[in-house]
Chain A
Amino acid sequence: MAKVTFTQNIQRHVTCRDTEAAGRSVREVLDNLFAGNPRARSYVLDDQAALRKHMAIYIDGELLRDRVQLSDPVTDTGDIYVFQALSGG
């Protein structure tokens, strides 16, 4: 199962423990994860289930490419980091 790590900044608003979840794509992994933590879903995904505009997801060190469908593949030993995108100074 993929290991999923969340930014500490989200914990102030909603509990998102680092966890493992099954899935062959980022979408499948997050769907499985949010099934057990539905409130956290809207903090990461928008109304259309796309990644929120100022959020970023890394899969094994690579930035997520498909921010709408979240179709990027994930391996069984994959590391997924859910961060907020920072810009500016």
Chain B
Amino acid sequence: MSDALLVATRKGLFRIRRGHDGWTIEHADFLGDNVTLKYANQRDGRHYAALDHGHFGVKLHRSNGAGWEEIAAPVYPPKPEGIEDNDMWGNPLAWTTARIWALRTGGPEEPGVLWCGTLPGGLFRSTDHGDSWTMIRSLWDHPKRKQWMGGGADGAGIHSIIVDPRDSRCVWIAVSTGGIWFTDDAGATWAQRGEGMRAEHVPPEFTHDPIAQDVHCLTQCEAAPERMWVQHHNGIFVSSDAGRTFTESTGVQPSAFGFPVVVHPRDPDTAWFVPGIKDEKRIPPGGRLVVTRTRDGGESFETLTHGLPQSHAYDVVYRHALAIDDTGERLAFGSTTGGLWVSEDAGDNWSIVTHTLPPVHAVRFV
């Protein structure tokens, strides 16, 4: 059970700790800077923070518990002269790291391995804890990569990376927009996954095309790796065959739109979501901030409200901003309007930690 949270925000990285008086802010790092992602390697205690300095670019920092050091950020290879590689508006695609959007350690037998997903769609791998990076050219040079498109951002981005706990050579990534991609040889070759998902924002002939899917978040049950959950632009999808096929959960109230999903570490049928009104609005339905939970594999959903604001709440929760601890009992989420809530009973009841944080990008138990 975890008693500490790290919260990456638009204006710094905050450590939250559970004490006698509940959950309180204990410390802030990078105060004033845009910390877009936080990741911890639970096996070796290394922490990673991605920063976007705007004018000065995207940077990556690492800590082993004794202060932060800037390490190498992924760098795109030189773009060959004359190559046609344009964004969805026909403008030349900038081969430069615009955002570090996903970090994931390799398997237990690969202690230095770290995967990194970025905007505008490059996947990178490090074998030395982030001291250096190699772009996975097999994916970047895949002819279908040029069919990826921007979702919420101008360009496509890799926001979810999953390493199979049974075989570290098996890795899934999810792209907004570009669907789910899978390798079973540590990135040498890639295949599209994700049959059964449905996109409403494309012409009918592409509705069920796996590459057209706007996956907002992909997650896997640690104890049952065949079970995967997707929060998609058009709804909630569940897979029981490691992402080969998905089934849509229908009738999800108050909305099936959202960004994050977390799954219970041992119960593959239990997952949590934070719904919103999709497309242009992106606010909680009816101004009520709720969490939805399924305990039966997506057949039905409960709407969890205890402790959450139920009027005039306009909090949106991004894909990395909902977290679950290793017991499956503690959850936490942070919002675009600086709210941070914690539950210690699997979402039945929530308590607010603070509503005055900067906009929250990511929340993780440590």
Question: What is A's interface to B at a CB cutoff of 8 Å?
Answer: 9-10, 13-14, 39, 42-44, 46-48, 52, 54-55, 84-85
Q: In the bound complex, do residue B53 and residue A13 qualify as a contact, i.e. CB atoms below 8 Å apart?
A: yes
Docked complex Cα distance between A44 and B78 (Å): 17
What does DSSP make chain B's interface, helix, strand, loop or mixed?
Answer: loop
Q: In the bound complex, do residue B97 and residue A47 qualify as a contact, i.e. CB atoms below 8 Å apart?
A: yes
- What mask results when residues 17 to 56 of chain B are scored 1 for a CB within 8 Å of chain A, else 0? 0000000000000000000000000000000000001111
| Interface stretch (choices B69-77, B141-149, B165-173, B202-210) | B69-77
Docked complex Cα distance between A14 and B69 (Å): 12
- Taking the nearest CB of chain A, how far is it from the CB of B171, in angstroms? 23
Task: Collect the chain B residues with CB atoms within 8 Å of residue A46's CB.
Answer: 57, 94, 96
Q: In the bound complex, do residue A47 and residue B75 qualify as a contact, i.e. CB atoms below 8 Å apart?
A: yes
Q: In the bound complex, do residue A43 and residue B94 qualify as a contact, i.e. CB atoms below 8 Å apart?
A: no
- Known contacts A46-B94, A47-B97; is-contact A85 B55 (Cβ 8 Å): yes
Q: In the bound complex, do residue A39 and residue B55 qualify as a contact, i.e. CB atoms below 8 Å apart?
A: no
- Taking the nearest CB of chain A, how far is it from the CB of B38, in angstroms? 18
Q: In the bound complex, do residue B95 and residue A10 qualify as a contact, i.e. CB atoms below 8 Å apart?
A: no
Q: In the bound complex, do residue A43 and residue B56 qualify as a contact, i.e. CB atoms below 8 Å apart?
A: yes
**Interface range, B side:** 10 to 19
Docked complex Cα distance between A42 and B57 (Å): 7
B94's contact among A42, A48, A84, A85, by CB below 8 Å, is which? A48
Task: Collect the chain A residues with CB atoms within 8 Å of residue B96's CB.
Answer: 46-48
Docked complex Cα distance between A84 and B57 (Å): 11
Query: Is B306 among interface residues, defined by CB-CB distance under 8 A?
Result: no
Query: Is B266 among interface residues, defined by CB-CB distance under 8 A?
Result: no
Q: In the bound complex, do residue A10 and residue B94 qualify as a contact, i.e. CB atoms below 8 Å apart?
A: no
30 contacts across the A-B interface (CB closer than 8 A): A9-B55, A10-B56, A14-B56, A42-B57, A42-B59, A42-B75, A43-B53, A43-B56, A43-B57, A44-B56, A46-B57, A46-B94, A47-B76, A47-B95, A47-B96, A47-B97, A48-B76, A48-B78, A48-B79, A48-B94, A48-B95, A48-B96, A52-B56, A52-B57, A54-B55, A55-B55, A55-B56, A84-B55, A84-B56, A85-B55
- Known contacts A46-B96, A48-B79, A48-B96; is-contact A39 B70 (Cβ 8 Å): yes
- Taking the nearest CB of chain B, how far is it from the CB of A12, in angstroms? 9
Q: In the bound complex, do residue B76 and residue A13 qualify as a contact, i.e. CB atoms below 8 Å apart?
A: no
Docked complex Cα distance between A84 and B53 (Å): 11
- Taking the nearest CB of chain A, how far is it from the CB of B33, in angstroms? 8
